[in-house]
Amino acid sequence: GQNIDQPTEMTATEGAIVQINCTYQTSGFNGLFWYQQHAGEAPTFLSYNVLDGLEEKGRFSSFLSRSKGYSYLLLKELQMKDSASYLCAVSSSGGSYIPTFGRGTSLIVHP
């Protein structure tokens, strides 16, 4: 099976940097996704990591360490609109690429 852990909630200040961690245990690994989900809306894709290291995409970066079963999503220059839930999802290599989602981290950005 798969187990994915994320903090339930985080708060940060507009303009600051925040790091959202995700740890996972999975039988086989085929990649890790980060999605953003605003309340009542669909998840939208942010990033994908399959190799160790940092992937940067504008204000958002995602890091992966496969040996540690660890990833983080880094959000820079926070804006109020970044208040959302951030979902870590892991794809296993057991014949299925369907990702398993964590419970998500609710990020609250305040002025």
Partner 1 sequence: EPEVTQTPSHQVTQMGQEVILRCVPISNHLYFYWYRQILGQKVEFLVSFYNNEISEKSEIFDDQFSVERPDGSNFTLKIRSTKLEDSAMYFCASGTGDSNQPQHFGDGTRLSIL
Q: Which residues bind partner 1 (CB under 8 A)?
A: 30-31, 33, 35, 40-45, 48, 50, 87, 89, 91, 96-104
DSSP class per residue in 55-73: EEETTEEEEEETTTTEEEE
Least CB distance to partner 1 at residue 96 (A):
6
Using the minimum distance from each CB to partner 1, give the nearer residue, 40 or 111. Answer: 40
Q: DSSP states of 10-60 as a string?
A: EEEETT--EEEEEEEEESS---EEEEEE-TTS--EEEEEE-SSEEEEETTE
21, β-bridge pairs: 72
Between 9 and 14, name the residue whose CB sits nearer to partner 1: 9
State in angstroms the smallest separation of the CB of 74 from partner 1: 19
CB-nearer residue toward partner 1: 78 or 89:
89
Q: How far is the CB of 15 from partner 1 (least distance, A)?
A: 28
